[in-house]
Structure 1
Amino acid sequence: MESRSLKNYTEVTKLVVHGVHVDIEQYPYTAQVIIEESSVCGGAIISNRVIVTAAHCLVDDNNKPLDPDLIEVYLGSEIAMQGAHYDVCKLFKHPKYENNTEQDYFWDIGLLLLSRHIKLSRRVEIATIAPTSKWRNVRNTMTIAGFGTTDNTEELTKTMKATRMKYVDSRICNLSQTGGKEMMPVPSHMFCMVGLTWTSDCRGDSGSPITWRSYIVGLVSLGRDSRDGSCGSEGIPSMYTDLTYFRLWLKHQVKELESTSTKECEIKIRTKIRLRASLSNC
């Protein structure tokens, strides 16, 4: 994939094309992950302090984790960059994720530990990850909701939109992902979908949750634009991170992250604020 420097984030992440406007109460576990005041990625609430998102949203060009201070999270609103604001205390990407290899879409999953507990309501809820993989069926369709571009331009949507996607058999997806010198096999921890009637994720939706029935089953990872470079192809499936596959890993990592108390996070943030203030006065 392309370079993931901060200035190019909106060019490489994915968002919803040709979707419909939806209220946050329909997908109350959806998070807005903002980097340096630019709407960049989506995420999902999976505990009262942790957001799951795409790993490539959390690293720089050298695969180094971003400074948590650069990242903000908004919850509980279908309006872009509005809602309850949360600072990020820590971030963690899957240790196997590498963004500088030919297969940089593998293991594309990461976590954000918020500095304080999430205040839950009917607009802010913890998602339930599907306990089994029975959703992996060609008869099934899923929903992606996000805040990205709604057509093939760089302008981000001001409100959350959603679209339906159809599950694609991995064997068929493998064939569609291979062309010329580019080999893009579908690993067991990913799955494929294709948009219905020219709908899809596009620039800006990386990390946004994929919903099946009352569960979340995946995250937007590697979008496959149509052959002219635009979003919304009916012919080329995209690959997505399978959250069911990572259920036990997520359970363990959430427990590890939440061992850092909110008080520790508060002290850490206050210390950084004082440091910045002292540097600015020099």
Structure 2
Amino acid sequence: MVIVDMNMIELHDDVDDDDEQSFDETPPPRHPLNTLQGDPRKARKGEEILRSGKTQAASPFASGLQGGTSASQDTLPTRIPLLASPKQWAVGSGCFCGSSKVWRVVDGVDVVPKNRYPWHVGLKSPGGDAYWCGGAIINDRYVVTAAHCAMDKDNNPEYPDNILVGIGDHNMKSHVDDTVVTKTVKVEEVIVHERYNPSSYNNDIALLKLSKSLNLGVSEDVGSVCLPPSKRSKYEKNVGTATGWGKLSTEGEQPPVLQQVLLPILPSDCWGYDHLITENMLCVLPVFGDTCQGDSGGPLVVQENRGFTLVGLTSFAFGECNQRGTPTVFTKVSRYVDWIKIKTRDASYCDIY
């Protein structure tokens, strides 16, 4: 268990008073780039390598960032995508969103088993043996992920047949730990946000409609995560948990087992990077670890009451993974609650604790 010391970072007051969804497609100001990984198109190439499934096992997340510096207005790093309605009951009994195994306690010691975060899914290509993106189950028919995870190399929405969703998985390299609910589900429809901008990663969100409904009330190994109550929900100064099978370093390997990392959520000034993000994004500070290529689309959750709420989707970073003093950027899910509910009207949601 990682103990968060909030004194390690300086948190400023949130100055964002805008409550309305913005669909401004003008990308953040562009300045001469001090690229750390060369041509930004290489990020897409790296994404295709992950899609091929040619990865090896490795050890858990490396930890380490402390402190921070403001971004220079003259030498800015390249954006690197981190790719490597009323309440309704879902089918099944005892269906509550955001329910995690972390709540099971034995003799005063928290049990931390596989599928601790039962909403986490992996995306892979047919025939692939590794996940190249993550996502989260939000109801019995839909998974939410990053838009850039659902696009082909020409930045068009990917064909549904080219994406498989791994449900209830823990070790993506082995079937030994699989449960009766571990399975791969085909995608029926890919819904990319209409105003997604692949240059700025604004509106970096997509929905994958599964080919079959999930019975979310049967097993604690598969469940849905709660959505924010409204588009006005804010989570600055909270500590979120991100999960994924992404690389352990920029040039590293993917671990076989799902990883987790605690990430303090920054105020809207994003430690001086606010001129490079939009109100549809939120920043985290990699103090104890970070997300990396292959984690894109994966969930950032915050504990609320007895459940977990989805507050972010891994989107991009300003440079290498786990780079000192450099924020990592997530899609702010609260901005899209209305959009999600409209697009998923044919689905059933679990109740809230």
Structure 1-normalised TM-score?
0.76
Corresponding position: 1:144 with 2:183 = no
Partner-residue secondary structure (3-state), 1:112: strand
Change (3 A) 1:24 1:242: farther
Partner-residue secondary structure (3-state), 1:252: helix
Among 197, 204, 207, the residue aligned to 2:294:
204
Corresponding position: 1:220 with 2:220 = no
1:220-268, Cα deviation, whole Å (9 max, x unpaired): 001233xxx3x11240001110111111100001126x59xxxxxxxxx
1:185-223, Cα deviation, whole Å (9 max, x unpaired): 2211111001113x1000100000001002111100012
Where does residue 251 of structure 1 map in the other structure? 341
Structure 1 residues without counterparts, runs of 5 or longer: 178-183, 260-282
Task: Report the RMSD for the aligned CA atoms in angstroms.
Answer: 2.4
Measured in 1, the distance between the counterparts of 2:261 and 2:249 equals 13
Where does residue 285 of structure 2 map in the other structure? 194
Change (3 A) 1:24 1:46: farther
Corresponding position: 1:106 with 2:196 = no
Where does residue 91 of structure 1 map in the other structure? 190
Structure 2 residues without counterparts, runs of 5 or longer: 1-39, 52-59, 64-111, 176-181, 349-353
C-alpha contact (below 8 Å) 2:233/2:334 kept by paired residues? no
User: Which protein has the bigger strand share?
Assistant: 1
Structure 2-normalised TM-score?
0.62
Q: Which amino acid in 2 is paired with 1:165?
A: L
Paired residues for 1:39-50 under 5 Å? 39-50=131-142
User: Which protein has the bigger helix share?
Assistant: 1
Corresponding position: 1:55 with 2:147 = yes
Measured in 2, the distance between the counterparts of 1:242 and 1:170 equals 11
> What is the count of residue pairs matched by the alignment?
236
Change (3 A) 1:95 1:163: same
* Higher relative contact order structure (alpha carbons within 8 Å, sequence separation ≥ 6): 2
C-alpha contact (below 8 Å) 2:234/2:334 kept by paired residues? no
1:171-196, Cα deviation, whole Å (9 max, x unpaired): 243x236xxxxxx6221111100111
**Which segments of structure 1 move beyond 6 Å, counting only runs of 4 or more?**
none
Measured in 1, the distance between the counterparts of 2:153 and 2:264 equals 32
Single out whichever of 156-165 and 34-43 deviates more from structure 2.
34-43
C-alpha contact (below 8 Å) 2:47/2:132 kept by paired residues? no
Measured in 1, the distance between the counterparts of 2:139 and 2:186 equals 16
Measured in 1, the distance between the counterparts of 2:334 and 2:135 equals 15
1:112-150, Cα deviation, whole Å (9 max, x unpaired): 111111132201001101215555222x21110111112
